[in-house]
Structure formats: structure tokens, C-alpha cells
Amino acid sequence: MIVAIIDLGTNTFNLLITEVFNDGVTSVVFQTKIPVMLGKESIEDHIISNAAMQRALDALKVFNDHIKKYKATKVIAKATSAIREASNQEYFTKKVLKETGIKIDVISGEEEAEYIYHGVCGAVVLNNSNSLMMDIGGGSTEFIIANKSGIKWKRSFLLGAARLLERSKPSDPITKEEIKKLEDHFRNELKPMYPALSEFPVAELIGVAGVFESLAEIIGHRHYFPELIKGKTEYTFSLDEFEEVYQLIIKSTHQQRTQIKGLIAMRVDMIVVSTIFIHLILKEFNINKLRMSAYSLKEGVLRELIHGKN
């Protein structure tokens, strides 16, 4: 059968259309993404603005055209932080159903973390050592401690890049005082994770798609070749190269970041708070290995579908 999976993220809507064969083998037919910026100027008010709602509907109508073109017989749409937290969530999902025929499943942060884990499992090789998985979205960030045998701990935090950017409104470039304030905020919000990491020590950080792909692409342009991660499901960072890019980003202005090769327009500002967040996690928990998984929620949804759980 042909399956269409839609990930309705806070910043980006993602579409994955895949053929699933009887033996469980899958083949990607088509995939695309559209920046929707659901939380723009309203995420802290816990509402989807009329303008954001229209952007979402326009994106889903484009997706519908692809779904019809490739004759998908099953459509699964999962909504995350911005929609999950919105007071007008029900109005939005009913409007989408009426205008597009797409039925949205609004998932909890715990469910989101679970899907992310299953997506990562399809992209990277895990072993008996625990890994800390980190998925920085626009509205929330999910952390999962897991190994090849399963999840040891998981939690979703309201620490998404769009939310952090709207709340902190950093200078251009960001100041040392603002970086420290952000780091203190992270430490305070992440208090539940400290005992979990004491109980389940980790050997590495696995960054999930999104901003981690941008960081890898920047490194590719600066040191290797532009298509460094094209066609790959995982990438191992040199921590020295990550530190170099971190310093580049925190010292740059908005205008300077628009000139950084490998950095897409949508992430020009959000990459600042995201990179500070990643840097803090590596430093705070003394993690010396950093990998990227190209697979995330939508691939996790697909894996769970194959195993009869969707």
C-alpha cells in the first residue's frame, strides 16, 4: 500500500509518502516539507493565529495534491507542540478536516518522544550503551534516554527554538549575558533530566534531524563538500568542528548568518538558541560524542505502522 505521513510541526510541516510491501519493506515515493511557522508571534499566547492557520491550510492543500498524485491509500497526520498547546486546537483540527479531509491526531509529548525513538532506530545503529536523543522542535524539545533494547526514560519540554526565540528576544548578535541567561533557563527547566541521567548514564548525544542537519551542512560547506549528508541517515560530528560552528553562530549577526552556506532561511535566527542549547547539553553532562539521525517522528510513525501500532 501507499502511505502518506504528515508531521505537523511548529515550524515545518513534513510529508513522507512511502510504499509499504507485504514483507514490511518500505520504499520512499516522495517527500517534501513546507515552513509554516505556526507559532510565529503567538506561540507564547498558546493560540494558532488566523495567519498561521491559513499558512497551515495552504500547506496541507499542497500536500493533498501530492497524496492524490501518488494515490496514497492511508494518510496519517500527527500534530505536535504548537497545536497540542493551542487553546483553539479543536477549531483548527475541525477546520482542517472540513477543508482538506485530513484527520489530525494531536499527540502528547510522551507519544512524540516514543515516535522519535523509533525513527532514530531506523537511521542509526544503537548498542547496549545508552544514548541521549535530542529533538529540537519549534515549540518543544524531546529528550529520550535509550539503547538498542528500548527506551529507559523520555520527556518533552517546552523548550522549542521558536518558543525560546520569542521569549528571549536576543540582541543581534546575542550577548554573553543573554547566553548565560538562556543556559540558566535550560538548567532550571531540565531539572527532571538530571536524576534520569544519573540513573542511566549516556555515552553520546544523538541529535535528531532539523537543526542538526543544518549544523552538518554548514560543516560540510566549510570543511568537506556541500552534499556531506545527502542520502545518509546518520552523521558523526567532530566536536572541534561543532565548537567552531557554535562560535561562528553566537558571534554572528542576522545578516551575517544569511550568508552562511548550508543554513536555510527558516533557521537563520532559531539556530542561535538551538546551538546554545546543544552546546549546554554537551558541556553540562560531559558528553564527548555527537551524532545526527536524519530520521525523526515521521519515520518513527512509519515503523510503528509496519509493526501494527498505528
In a domain, 252, yes or no: yes
Q: Indicate whether 147 and 24 sit together in one domain.
A: no
Distance CA 278, CA 27 (A): 32
User: How many folded domains does the chain comprise?
Assistant: 2
In a domain, 281, yes or no: yes
Q: Indicate whether 59 and 155 sit together in one domain.
A: no
In a domain, 310, yes or no: no
Q: Indicate whether 202 and 285 sit together in one domain.
A: yes
Is residue 227 within 8 A of residue 290, CB to CB? The reply is: no
Position 309 scores a pLDDT of 65
Position 294 scores a pLDDT of 96
Q: Indicate whether 230 and 194 sit together in one domain.
A: yes
Distance CA 254, CA 172 (A): 7
DSSP 45-70: GT---HHHHHHHHHHHHHHHHHHHHT
14 three-state secondary structure: strand
Neighbours of 103 (CB within 10 A): 11
Give which of 15, 18, 52 is closest to 33, Cα–Cα. Answer: 15
Distance CA 189, CA 208 (A): 20
Domain range for 231 is: 125-293
Tens-digit pLDDT profile for residues 238-255: 999 999 999 999 999 999
Specify whether the backbone of 63 is left (phi greater than 0), alpha (psi in -120 to 50) or beta: alpha
Peptide bond preceding 35: is omega within 30 degrees of 0, i.e. cis? no
Q: Indicate whether 6 and 42 sit together in one domain.
A: yes
Q: Indicate whether 46 and 138 sit together in one domain.
A: no
Position 100 scores a pLDDT of 95
Residue 152: what are its φ and ψ, rounded to 5°?
Answer: -95, -35
In a domain, 26, yes or no: yes
Residue ranges for the chain with pLDDT beneath 50? none
Tens-digit pLDDT profile for residues 64-117: 999 999 999 999 999 999 999 999 999 999 999 999 999 999 999 999 999 999
Q: Indicate whether 166 and 274 sit together in one domain.
A: yes
CA distances from 91 to 23, 47, 61, 96 (A): 39, 11, 18, 9
DSSP 159-170: --HHHHHHHH--
Distance CA 273, CA 233 (A): 25
Is residue 13 within 8 A of residue 138, CB to CB? The reply is: no
Give this prediction's pTM.
0.94
Distance CA 68, CA 65 (A): 5
Position 310 scores a pLDDT of 61
Position 40 scores a pLDDT of 81
In a domain, 202, yes or no: yes
Q: Fill in the amino acid letter for 62.
A: V
DSSP 204-225: EEEEESHHHHHHHHHHHHHHS-
